[in-house]
Amino acid sequence: MTTQSANSTLDAVKCFAERFSLMLDERATFDAKTPPMLADAIRYSLLAPGKRLRPFLVYECGALCGADEDACFAPAAALEMIHTFSLIHDDLPAMDDDDLRRGRPTNHKVYGEAVAILAGDALVTLAFETLATKTVNREHVASLVVALAHASGDKGMIGGQTLDIEGQKTPADNPPAQSLEAVRQIHSTKTGALFECACRMGGIVANADDDTLERLATFGLNLGLAFQIADDLLDVTASATDLGKKSGKDAKKGKQTFPAVVGIEQSREHAESAVAAAIEAIRGISGDTSRLESLAEFAYRRDR
């Protein structure tokens, strides 16, 4: 990959993030039936600056398989709602106890713990409501709901967060024997599942065939894995200013991460393998896959 194509992909992601945030802002409005405090707490986190990578993947995979742009909004918005819910709940005192997120105070620091829990809860129901009411082709609703529930629930992201939290129960200065398989399992579910779902949903709204859906899913899962490994590496190597959140926290908490288990160099190798697997999967789909390939490279190179 040339630096030029990497930069152009990065520009595309940034442009999309701005555009998508405006769309979310416009459509995530609340009427008098929603308590103003709850609406504020939801909007505070949902409209916070973010990379919008999961929505980007829905649109890119949708476009690759011939979906209309309009068809991508509902699944993209739903995914970002689920992602935002997970950030709010993960930051809670009972979970990761974080004060800072994307450079701003976390939701519970601003609105209190009770409202933060409820705002997270409401984002989950809002995600499914969005799928059911804003999906362009009503015949896609059931498949989209299944994909989202599966990826975000007990078998996916929420399951992964449970494993993550459970893994931290021993004192940080005396971490448990961690296995690579355990870490891979946490990351595949906690991060990989939503990336996989984003790509699959892009295919669903494009009426893609089963083989294509599986290729998109494999691409997304491996991209998510590479992305999470890069995130863990950043936590080790970068400063809080670069991150917009505290760095070095994973190690202090005894979190199970790739760098903690296999070290920095081997973590980079695992990320590279995941990127290679992602690219191999996506190349089996006809059409221009160059931007998705370049995104996979970017996910992993973020820590350089």
Of 15, 22, 136, 142, the one binding a second copy by CB under 8 A: 142
User: Residue 145 interacts with a second copy (CB under 8 A)?
Assistant: yes
CB-wise, 38 or 262, nearer to a second copy? 38
| Residue numbers 157-186 binding a second copy by CB under 8 A | 158-159, 161-163, 165-166
CB-wise, 123 or 223, nearer to a second copy? 123
What minimum distance in Å lies between the beta carbon of 204 and a second copy?
13
CA separation, residue 236 to residues 110, 145, 268, 303 (Å): 28, 36, 13, 10
- The partner residues of 105 in beta bridges, in order of sequence, read 100
Of 11, 18, 19, 37, the one binding a second copy by CB under 8 A: 37
What minimum distance in Å lies between the beta carbon of 18 and a second copy?
26
User: Residue 198 interacts with a second copy (CB under 8 A)?
Assistant: no
| Residue numbers 225-244 binding a second copy by CB under 8 A | none
User: Residue 125 interacts with a second copy (CB under 8 A)?
Assistant: yes
Contacts within 8 Å (CB) and 24+ apart, 25-34: 27/73, 27/77, 27/134, 28/77, 28/126
CA separation, residue 77 to residues 152, 153, 231 (Å): 14, 17, 23
Spatial distance between the Cα atoms of 120 and 95, rounded to a whole number of angstroms: 13
Please, are residues 50 and 17 in contact by the beta-carbon 8 Å criterion?
yes
Spatial distance between the Cα atoms of 128 and 44, rounded to a whole number of angstroms: 20
Please, are residues 54 and 80 in contact by the beta-carbon 8 Å criterion?
yes
Q: How many residues bind a second copy (CB under 8 A)?
A: 51
Which among 33-41, 52-60, 194-202, 244-252 is the span making contact with a second copy, rule CB under 8 A? Answer: 33-41
User: Residue 133 interacts with a second copy (CB under 8 A)?
Assistant: yes
How far apart are the two ends of the chain, measured CA to CA in Å? 15
Q: In terms of Cα–Cα distance, which of 186, 182, 269, 177 is closest to 230?
A: 269
Contacts with a second copy by CB under 8 A lie at 30-31, 33-35, 37-39, 42, 85, 89, 92, 94-95, 112-115, 117-118, 120-122, 124-126, 128-129, 131-133, 135, 138, 141-142, 145-146, 148-150, 152-155, 158-159, 161-163, 165-166
